[in-house]
Amino acid sequence: MANNNMNLKLRIWRQAGPDKPGKLVDYTLDNVSPDMSFLEMLDVLNEELMKKGENPVEFESDCREGICGNCGSVINGIPHGGQHRTASCQLHMRHFRDGDTITIEPFRAKAFPVIKDLVVDRSAFDHILKKGGYISVNTGSAPDANLLPVAREVADQAMDSAECIGCGACVAACPNASASLFVSAKISHLARLPQGQPERKRRLIRLMEQMDEEGFGNCSNQAECEAVCPKGISIANIAKMRREYFKALRGGE
Amino acid sequence: MIFNGKIPEGDPLNGRVPEGPIEKRWEKWKNELSLVAPANKKKHTIIVVGTGLAGASAAASLGELGYNIKSFCIQDSPRRAHSIAAQGGINAAKNYTNDGDSVWRLFYDTVKGGDFRSRESNVYRLAELSTEIIDQAVAQGVPFAREYGGLLANRSFGGALVSRTFYARGQTGQQLLLGAYGALLRQIDSGKIRIFPRREMLDLVVIDGKARGIVTRNLVTGEIESHAGEAVILATGGYSNAYYLSTNAKNSNATAAWRCYKRGAYFANPCYTQIHPTCIPVSGDYQSKLTLMSESLRNDGRVWVPKEKGDDRRPTEISEDERDYYLERRYPTFGNLVPRDVASRAAKAVCDEGRGVGETGRAVYLDFSDAIRDNGVEYIEEKYGNLFEMYERITGENPYKVPMRIYPALHYTMGGLWVDYNLMSNIPGLFVLGEANFSDHGANRLGASALMQGLADGYFVIPYTVGDYIAREKPEKVSEDHDAFKESEKEVKETTRRLLSVKGKKTVMEFHRELGHLLWDNAGMSRSENSLRHVLEKIPELKEDFRKNILVPGEADDWNKYLEYAGRTADFLELGELIALDALNRDESCGAHFREEHETPDGEAQRDDSNFSYVAAWEYAGKDKIPILHKEPLKFEYVEPSQRSYK
């Protein structure tokens, strides 16, 4: 194993705080195992930095199995590093080569201000979903689950959309910093299900208005979002959101 | 703590468990609980710490009732709590599959699975509420797997002979959490819940013996903040990360629960730590966490190792008659679906014999070739596609072609803060839900039962019992200006200052890893008197080293991840001692707690009901003092304790 280890050059965005200037700083890191995850590589770098009396690189990370949506940085220009359907925490160093230079930056968007180094504030996502990214049902009032059959294909399609982990890579990849993929995934998930029908229109309008309010841009069909999505959420969701929007404007269902 | 061999014993505990026929207990209890008038609910503030399944469902349900809720989480968004990572499913006694399931059977399986170390009444209530959870989740739009007819699909899980597990691909936890998160957001939008993300609870404030609030650190600005309320609900998860490597998230920690312990809340059964049998093995020192592969894989995957020691041929070169499908051989009835503790120990046993596979010899195969041959690749892809993808991403190997390599890892902790039937700790006004409490799983939790418990506690138990507390106790309002808050803030700031001022040579990760190794080797899958005494000798040295030599970078009033880790590791060091002490005190084997001195001739856990049929709840006795043991005797009126058999 040891003989496959790599020596890497890292260029990492360092920014002390939201209002402080930031810049790319060069580091070298030797003896990186190909079996390490990308974030484990950063852990090792931080151990070295701290031992030298320097401040570690701050980055977000939690589950490290690609489901919590906490991690995310722009790796060599691509959010999450460009490995198909893979979040930063699941990206492994075997996809890099000895001697590579890796540039690591935070997700960039007006609606995602930098907090420190690679950490950004994505609370805009919660502000949007708060406006109706759910079905309004109080605890205890639900009928028996099997009273409401849902065709298997429909449940599967709803699940395809519901898999979104809210990491924000779609926004970071979009030249307009649009949150359309994120918002449309929630709209499609709920619009497909019979439970989602009563609030279908209201949800759509409120979510879309809040998306604008938070400072995200519009969709111009670049499809970069789909390409970087660690869950493979399809841009067909955006098409569905638009159709829903036209229907809502016409006042029909 | 210097352990001198003597454990001081305090008064026995009363779980306030209702009497009468078990199937009527919860209903009768609910009917007798006091209610808060609708117009009065808005006068009360309830603090909910944690936004996983238990915390989010509790906050949402209480918000719907009209209480003012302050909800806290350490992540940037409540949606990221670690419940999100639960894969396999959630149990419910719906009997949609017509295979003979019932509330009784789910109750029975859970009591037996927990090796007769849980409270019957709590478990029965859990089984009873399980069906309502599914109804609630479906109404929220959780996209569970369905049959072609449109009705809900089920699968089997370990420790049961019926198919009662509901699932959403391999992301059941994610979908259930997003359902609860939606309910939480709805109450935020309505103004009933105020959300405080990126806050870490660092102290519980107790005034006149009652829980009256918390002190938190704002993880962005470093500010220390006080929050007062009429009740505090803790839903902060388990302590698997005491072992450093576990399947928990990097931020999962025991600090909130531990600070409650130090304020007088009893910590129950800390030695009940569950090892999950199907995780991806360790690959190197840099390893930061272990990744679980859902137990549901054991429905179709067959576990085996070579019959011969040291057989290092590729798995595909080892013929059928040279393989030992040891679970099927030892447990013909349950086969690969034995409970987690049994499967984990069996894997350890074959590896200890030198028959383990992979580079380190600490792994066994989980092989899908028969299932693929019998049912086709599509069948496997549909059921486990995302898990297979994840495995390949991490290991670089394709499990459709070569068997997975798996090994047990720390996954869940059945122990936690002691609570009564109302889920209230011994400190009035402090309620504890989900994995953070000790209540329902005994000495071993069955698969697909954690999601069930978190949601049962949050949606269907706490809304009643907190109301009862407020209606009966009528707690007076206190303000954050109260001296108790000021003192606590001062202590918290002092702890932070001390951590930063040492400027030693060893990083937090080095200490945490050292503690993890110590616990895993000596208080992990199996323990002995010697190994546990070794832990109790070593930890004080490690604590002393930590005190003198810890290196924490940065400042207190800034974003500082390693400062957070340092505080949590300091608490894990203390908790590690309590785990070892509890394991040493419990001189029997039961469920996941396996004392090498106590095994049956077949190598199973040998309980000692006459001496240990109790909950061990520990009371903090002061710095470096041996904690005081309180026992809650367990009564089995419905399920006769027997030697568990999965043969």
Q: What are phi and psi of A46, to 5 degrees?
A: -65, -40
| pLDDT for position A252 | 55
Q: Search chain A and give the residue with CA nearest B393.
A: A90
Q: Which residues of B are catalytic?
A: 340
- From the candidates B128, B129, B140, which should be mutated to test the interface with A, based on the most A CB atoms within 10 A? B140
Are B627 and B612 within 8 A, CB to CB? no
- Say yes or no to pLDDT of A1 above 60: no
Residue type, A193: L
Rounded Cα distance between B88 and B83, Å, is 12
Render pLDDT for B575-591 as a digit per residue (tens, 0 to 9): 999 999 999 999 999 99
CB pairs under 8 A between A and B: 220
Give the closest-approach CA distance of A206 to chain B in angstroms.
12
Which residues have C-beta within 8 Å of that of residue B309, sequence separation ≥ 6?
B353, B354, B355
Mean pLDDT of A99-119: 98
Closest CA to B510 of B565, B557, B470: B565
- Measured between beta carbons, the chain A residues lying within 8 angstroms of B80 are 62-63, 68-70, 166
CB atoms within 10 A of CB A56: 20
For tokens 């209230």, the residue is B424
- Rounded to the nearest integer, the mean pLDDT of chain A is 96
Are B227 and B213 within 8 A, CB to CB? yes
| pLDDT for position B159 | 77
- Measured between beta carbons, the chain B residues lying within 8 angstroms of A132 are 189
Query: Token pair for residue B440?
Result: 């329902």
**Secondary structure letter of residue B335 according to DSSP:** G
- Measured between beta carbons, the chain A residues lying within 8 angstroms of B397 are none
- Do the Cβ atoms of B169 and A159 come within 8 Å? yes
- Say yes or no to pLDDT of B505 above 90: yes
| pLDDT for position B157 | 82
Render pLDDT for B41-58 as a digit per residue (tens, 0 to 9): 999 999 999 999 999 999
- Say yes or no to pLDDT of A3 above 80: no
Q: Which range has the worst mean pLDDT, A116-125, A126-135, B385-394, B603-612?
A: B385-394
Task: For residue B13, give the 3-state DSSP assignment.
Answer: coil
Secondary structure (DSSP) of A75-112: ETTEEGGG-TT--GGG-BGGGS-TT-EEEEE----TTS
**Assessment of whether the complete model's pTM goes beyond 0.80:** yes
Residues of B numbered 351-380 whose beta carbons fall under 8 angstroms of chain A's beta carbons: which are they? 359
Query: Token pair for residue B194?
Result: 């105020």
Question: For chain B, give me the number of helices (H) and strands (E)?
Answer: 18, 21
Rounded Cα distance between B125 and B121, Å, is 6
Contacts for B610-615: CB closer than 8 Å, 24+ residues apart:
B611/B587, B612/B586, B612/B587, B612/B588, B613/B116, B613/B117, B613/B641, B615/B13, B615/B15, B615/B117, B615/B119, B615/B268, B615/B269, B615/B418, B615/B438
Put simply, whether B3 touches A (Cβ < 8 Å) is no
- Do the Cβ atoms of B185 and A134 come within 8 Å? yes
| ipTM, 2 dp | 0.98
Q: What's the helix, strand, coil split of chain B in %, to 5?
A: 40, 15, 40
Are B158 and B337 within 8 A, CB to CB? yes
Rounded Cα distance between B209 and B92, Å, is 38
Mean pLDDT of B493-501: 98
- Do the Cβ atoms of B139 and A33 come within 8 Å? no
Give the burial class of A82: count Cβ atoms within 10 A of its Cβ; 0-12 exposed, 13-18 middle, 19 or more buried. middle
Between CA B289 and CA B296, with CA B293 as vertex, the angle to 5 degrees is: 150
For tokens 């959403």, the residue is B168
Instruction: Give exposure, B392-401, as e/b (b: 16+ Cβ within 10 Å).
Output: ebbbeeebee
Task: For residue A148, give the 3-state DSSP assignment.
Answer: coil
End-to-end CA distance of chain B: 43
Residues of B numbered 397-456 whose beta carbons fall under 8 angstroms of chain A's beta carbons: which are they? none
Give the closest-approach CA distance of A191 to chain B in angstroms.
10
Rounded Cα distance between B530 and B535, Å, is 9
Between CA B138 and CA B142, with CA B141 as vertex, the angle to 5 degrees is: 70
Give the closest-approach CA distance of B540 to chain A in angstroms.
24
Name the strands in the sheet holding A74-75, side by side, starting at the edge strand that comes first in the sequence: A22-32, A6-15, A101-105, A74-75, A78-79
Closest in B77, B147, B289 to A125, CB measured:
B77
Q: Search chain A and give the residue with CA nearest B188.
A: A130
Q: Could you give the C-alpha distances from B357 to B348, B398, B521, in angstroms and in order? A: 12, 17, 20
For tokens 């950063």, the residue is A42
Rounded Cα distance between B366 and B364, Å, is 7
Q: What torsion, rounded to 10 degrees, do the Cα atoms B548, B549, B550, B551 define?
A: 130
CA A100 to chain centre: 25
Closest in B140, B144, B559 to A137, CB measured:
B140
Q: Search chain B and give the residue with CA nearest A231.
A: B386
- Measured between beta carbons, the chain B residues lying within 8 angstroms of A36 are 284, 286
Render pLDDT for B587-607 as a digit per residue (tens, 0 to 9): 999 999 999 999 998 888 999
Are B57 and B455 within 8 A, CB to CB? yes
Render pLDDT for A176-197 as a digit per residue (tens, 0 to 9): 999 999 999 999 999 999 999 9
Rounded Cα distance between B222 and B206, Å, is 23
- Do the Cβ atoms of B136 and A139 come within 8 Å? yes
Instruction: Give exposure, A148-185, as e/b (b: 16+ Cβ within 10 Å).
Output: bebebebbbbbbbbbbbbbbbbbbbbbeebbbbbbbbb
Rg (CA), chain B: 24
| pLDDT for position B282 | 92
Render pLDDT for B540-568 as a digit per residue (tens, 0 to 9): 999 999 999 999 999 999 999 999 999 99
CA B267 to chain centre: 14
Q: Could you give the C-alpha distances from A148 to B55, B92, B138, B146, B602, in angstroms and in order? A: 28, 17, 9, 11, 48
- Say yes or no to pLDDT of A253 above 70: no
pLDDT band (50, 70, 90) for residue B283: confident
β-strand partners of B406: B364
Closest in B84, B186, B286 to A67, CB measured:
B84
Put simply, whether B191 touches A (Cβ < 8 Å) is no
